[in-house]
Structure 1
Amino acid sequence: MTDPTRPTTILEGTILAFTPVPQQRRRADGWTPLTQERFIRALEAMGSTGAAAKAVGMSRRSAYKLRDRDGADGFAHAWDQALDLGRGRMFDYAMDRALNGITTVRILRGGAVDVTGGPDMALVHAALREPDAPAKGTKGTK
């Protein structure tokens, strides 16, 4: 049975659970509770604030403004958790590509096919430049 006095939480039962930031004005294109949940889930998947905001049709700037509002403590905590998870996932992905390489198939003039393999070094270098890259042997946890 749910308690009607208890605020509604989103992503209940996960480490990303949070109480939505109250809306200042009712706007269909604003930061609704559903948009907030989708942003946190996108942040967990992508590990990038700008990309997650764009994925839900909002700007990076408006996301930070929402995070700074009164009553956004739970949202900010979920944001931090999701960002850590997303960055860990991206780091693991880059290291997998470094170890296992990638295959590139090109169709050349005359119909010839060129298949090459090897690591995606641009992705590997990007992951290693990330200041919050997981420490060696931690598999994305801090």
Structure 2
Amino acid sequence: MEHTAPPEQLLADTCLAFAPVTQQRHRADGWTPETQANFIRALAAMGSVGKASRAVGMGRRSAYRLRDRAGAQSFAAAWDRALSMGRIRQFDYAMDRALNGVTTVRILRGGAIDVTGGPDMDVVRAAIREDAAPLKATKDTV
């Protein structure tokens, strides 16, 4: 069995370093320190709390409850940094697709091939919606 280092050591050399939130109950399917570190990594890659929590097999509401738990200040700070990084990454990706376009290859009936290219505005709209989501959520909760 492979032994992994604690998350604070795994992320110690990055801006995402954090002290994991202590578990109230020890559950194999709960927010273990390894799951917390993987969530922060996924959040930095995806820029979406829902997608990151699904990627680690947890629920979005559960992630927010963990963030709000006493002693989770370090985790919450890493969350904020990772979310910002992920949203910047997704926005850059969307702008690249919008400016440089995408190539779509379709094989039609009879073996004909249709190659089209152009900007992917759906990705741009999705990136803009993701940036607007926290503003709407903050407004609703205040």
TM value normalised by structure 2: 0.85
SS at structure 1 position matched to 2:8: coil
CA distance in 2, matches of 1:57, 1:68: 19
SS at structure 1 position matched to 2:75: helix
Report the alpha carbon displacement of residue 14 of structure 1 after superposing the two structures with TM.
Answer: 1.1
CA distance in 2, matches of 1:131, 1:19: 29
1:9 aligned to 2:22?
no
CA distance in 1, matches of 2:100, 2:56: 33
CA distance in 2, matches of 1:16, 1:89: 15
Question: Structure 1 residues 8 and 96, CA, compared in 2 at 3 Å: closer, same or farther?
Answer: closer
Q: Where does structure 1 lack aligned partners over 5 or more consecutive residues?
A: 1-6, 133-142
Percent identity (aligned):
71
CA distance in 2, matches of 1:43, 1:99: 25
CA RMSD of aligned residues (A): 1.6
After superposition, the C-alpha distances for 1:86-130 in whole angstroms (9 at most, x for unaligned) are 000000000000111000000111110000000101111222342
Give the residue type in structure 2 aligned to 1:131.
A
State the match for 1:20 in structure 2.
20
Which has the larger share of helix?
A: 2
Give the residue type in structure 1 aligned to 2:79.
W
State the match for 1:31 in structure 2.
31
Question: Structure 1 residues 64 and 90, CA, compared in 2 at 3 Å: closer, same or farther?
Answer: same
After superposition, the C-alpha distances for 1:16-60 in whole angstroms (9 at most, x for unaligned) are 000000000110000000000000000000000000000000000
Report the alpha carbon displacement of residue 8 of structure 1 after superposing the two structures with TM.
Answer: 7.5
CA distance in 1, matches of 2:121, 2:24: 46
Report the alpha carbon displacement of residue 68 of structure 1 after superposing the two structures with TM.
Answer: 0.5
> Is the CA contact 2:94–2:123 (under 8 Å) kept in the aligned structure 1?
yes
Moved runs in structure 1, 4+ residues, more than 3 A? none
State the match for 2:42 in structure 1.
42
1:58 aligned to 2:73?
no
CA distance in 2, matches of 1:112, 1:119: 23
State the match for 1:126 in structure 2.
126
Give the residue type in structure 2 aligned to 1:60.
R
SS at structure 2 position matched to 1:85: helix
Give the residue type in structure 2 aligned to 1:73.
Q
TM value normalised by structure 1: 0.85
